[in-house]
A and B are shown apart, each in its own frame.
Chain A
Amino acid sequence: MSGFTMRFGDATLDVGDVQLDRQPLGANFLAMARAFVADTYEGCTYHRQRLDRAGVKPDQVRSFEDFERIPLLGPSDVSSTAEFSLLPDRMVAALHDGGLFDFRPEERIAKKFTTTGSTGRPKVSYYTVADWEAGSAQVVRMFQHIPPANYSRIFNCFNPGHVGGKVFEDTFNRAGCTVENKHFTLQKPEDVIRQLYNGIPELGGFNGLCLPPCLPPGLKVGKGGTLDELLNADVDNYIGAKIRVILTAGAPRDLPEFRLKERVWEANELAGAERTVFVDLYGCAEVALACADCQHNDGLHLMQGHTYTEVVNAETGKRVAPGERGLVVFTGFKHASRYLRYMIGDEATFVADPCRCGRTSPRLKDITRVMDKERLRQGCAAG
């Protein structure tokens, strides 16, 4: 996947380039951000009007500090507007005219995600084929510290309709892995674990798992078979013996009452196997997966590339200093739905200290939901 080139205007960026995690964001990235703002201003009436109301013109955005002048987009803003508002006008017109048949293949819609409409007006996000490819390249970049052979045979437990069900299947298949999804009829952990036990025996079974870590207390709707449930059902210790990599997303992984990493490592020890590597991914269906932890599991690195993640002061909209807490704000460099400085509704501590893994990208720690909490409890939000 390395080498996928994202384009806006004349700006290009190799989303799979691991140097993005090892160097300060440079001119190339700034050029991409500026090109995206200009393209969005020019092509999307909704955002043009917002920027005009804020008195921000694209050509005034010359630095990352200038980028902070762009008004924040909140969950309530998105919920109160029509689902096509965030799309470029050209795309909306084509959809009204019957479809995107005259668009180049990479410009056509690849995926559409909606958050739960049952608890309010759903948030909708479209991805073009190019957007989807860029998102996949970024996810693979998150696995840069792991030999691909260690996650070459993946069992994906996210519900097929959930963003995780689709993104991990497509991403890892395109990266060269085999991916088997949890069968859509299976609800009980004992049945899911049986599918895991029986999968691809010719290749020695699975070695990677993609799944939500747990169903946190208070949440009512799961996103698939969780690691917590599977560990409890896994009486034959398949996970401890065979699973080398576990990708989690969609809920906090390190809640102390679940002890998930410790339980897996204990299962590894029982099986006489090496410790399983964990990768926790963070982002949202509206933008993409934007952050991931490294082998040290000490905060989530901002994976700047297909996304640009900031932690900002809620009052000023400016980025907080290292060590401070602020709102997590995503910008997705997508050609379809434009989420520009979008507040997902979480608060986090911004950490700029160098990580032992060698990446210099900042990290997020202690992420907590501060907005839209009811939707999180009732539906399948935050993931």
Chain B
Amino acid sequence: MLQNIINGEPRPVESERDAGDWKLPVTPQHEAAFALKCVRKPATPDLRRAIAALSAIGRAASWISDADLKQIAASSGSPVKYMRFAMARVNAWLANVGDYVARLGTVDAFGALERGGARWTGGLPTTFILAGDDITVAPWMLGQAVLGDATCLVKPSSVEPLSAFRFVQAVAAAGIRTLHLVHLDSAAEGDRAVIAKAIESTEQSVVLGEDATVGKIYGPMPFLANHKAIPYWSGRSGVVVHADADLELAARHIVFGATEDRGNRCISTKKIFAPRALATRLEALLVAEADRLRRGSPLDDATELGTLDPGARARAESAAADGEIVYQKDLVIARVGDRSPLLCTEVPYPAIGLRYYAEGEDPIALANAAVKEGPSKKALVMSVFTASDATYAGAAAHLAAYKVLRNLPTSHLDLTSAHQGMHLCVELMRGKEVC
């Protein structure tokens, strides 16, 4: 049974609500108030303790069971094969989290992070709003929160609440009581007020979700001068294919990046900028790659593309309505113009907008134009397919993106790299000069 976990203890469930396949506890106002007391209780940060706890969790790799993964797969439609792969990556990151921190700085004898000539410490009251059903998000983001010693009120996703619950359970069992998991229904007015109060009562907040979701949370808030807002926006990730690219490799990675875990992640491939001259061959390769995907039950070990959400499919079809369909069995690929929603926004579904550029057009400028109206004005990940070092270097220099990859799928899962330009654990700390 899913419960709130506050101050390391699971809380009794007084009543429940239905959230899709999940039964979630209804959180009374006083329960959220107690969680806030815990969040604001002064903490003594110690990065060494956090690293030890997370490493142990990662090494044991038992905080979430295969039965849990199957339950999530059955609920979300994401293939269990992907779940296992993603969890192996997460557990590897956790087990080696000391190495990850070592890349960021040096842990001193007092448990602070020495980095860039400053000493960084955490322990700050934080509101954490999770969203979506990407199974890596909760353990990775909350792992960052533990490293940052942030004392957090954590609102798990209502779509996939199990991974957050299991991870907070494991962290509490490891003796870290800084994550206070409180199920809240962002569709309910009372719970939205609790979220707003939590943000006002904490020194920083991390909010994930589609742009509209993030906007709904931060939009009505007053300006809080002493509050640090860390929104994670829609990814708008995509691909630039240059004329010298290995097209077979590009097509394989594009389809993989667009469909892995149902194409609903911020690092999923959503758009392609490719030379018009390569259109015929590229489309043939994309269709071949798409047809090669193993469809089936999410619980089948071989399945690469599981069950897709009909609502998201409808959104994808609507977004592609002005385009010319290239493929639409399940993955949607459409040739589109510059203002197409497939290029400029994001649909939580395997859907790709294909924008061909003519000789004389700059694909980097086109890619940048597609994100200029987004809140961050950047894509989360852009992957550049080219054989040329110089071309790649030029693209990396000028693309409006937080991360630029070369000849890789945008969904390439590297938990040790910065996300949206940040190592969250550092963002959750504050530095001071020690002269």
Interface residues in chain A, defined as those with a beta carbon under 8 Å from any beta carbon in chain B:
228, 231-237, 240, 258-259, 263, 266-267, 270-271
Contacts and interface: CB of A to CB of B under 8 A. Distances in A.
B37 to A, nearest CB: 4
B41 A237 contact: yes
Contacts of A258: 30
Interface residues of B, number: 12
Interface in B6-43: 7, 29-30, 33-34, 36-41
10 contacts: A232-B30, A233-B33, A234-B33, A235-B40, A236-B40, A237-B37, A237-B41, A240-B37, A263-B34, A271-B41
A267 B41 CA distance: 11
A131 B429 CA distance: 61
A267 B30 contact: no
Given A240-B37, A259-B30, A267-B37, A235 B7 contact: no
A240 B36 CA distance: 13
B96 interface: no
A258 B30 CA distance: 8
Contacts of B7: 270
**Main DSSP-derived SS at the B contact region:** helix
Interface of B: 7, 29-30, 33-34, 36-41, 201
Contacts of B37: 234-237, 240, 267, 270
A263 B41 CA distance: 16
Nearest to A238: B37
Contacts, number: 34
Nearest to B9: A266
B189 to A, nearest CB: 16
A28 B7 CA distance: 55
A222 to B, nearest CB: 16
Given A235-B201, A270-B7, A228 B38 contact: no
B41 A270 contact: yes
Contacts of B29: 232
A102 B40 CA distance: 60
Contacts of A270: 7, 34, 37-38, 41
Contacts of B34: 263, 266-267, 270
A266 to B, nearest CB: 6
Given A228-B30, A267-B37, A270-B38, 8 more contacts: A234-B33, A235-B36, A235-B37, A237-B37, A259-B30, A263-B30, A263-B34, A270-B34
B425 to A, nearest CB: 24
A270 B9 CA distance: 12
A228 B31 CA distance: 12
A237 B30 contact: no
A235 B7 CA distance: 14
B33 A235 contact: yes
Most A CB contacts (10 A, CB to CB) among B33, B36, B37, B39 go to B37
A234 B39 CA distance: 12
Closest 10 CB pairs of A and B: A232-B33, A237-B37, A235-B36, A235-B201, A235-B40, A232-B29, A236-B40, A263-B30, A232-B30, A270-B37
A48 B33 CA distance: 56
Contacts of B201: 235
Nearest to B198: A235
B376 to A, nearest CB: 31
Contacts of B36: 235
Most B CB contacts (10 A, CB to CB) among A233, A235, A240 go to A235
B149 to A, nearest CB: 18
Contacts of A231: 30, 33
A240 B7 CA distance: 15
Nearest to B39: A235
Contacts of A263: 30, 34
A231 B28 CA distance: 13
A232 B30 CA distance: 6
Nearest to B38: A270
A194 to B, nearest CB: 13
Nearest to A260: B30
A383 to B, nearest CB: 22
Nearest to A190: B197
A154 B29 CA distance: 26
Contacts of B33: 231-235
Contacts of A236: 37, 40
Contacts of B38: 270
B202 to A, nearest CB: 9
Nearest to A262: B30
A357 B325 CA distance: 82
A240 B41 CA distance: 11
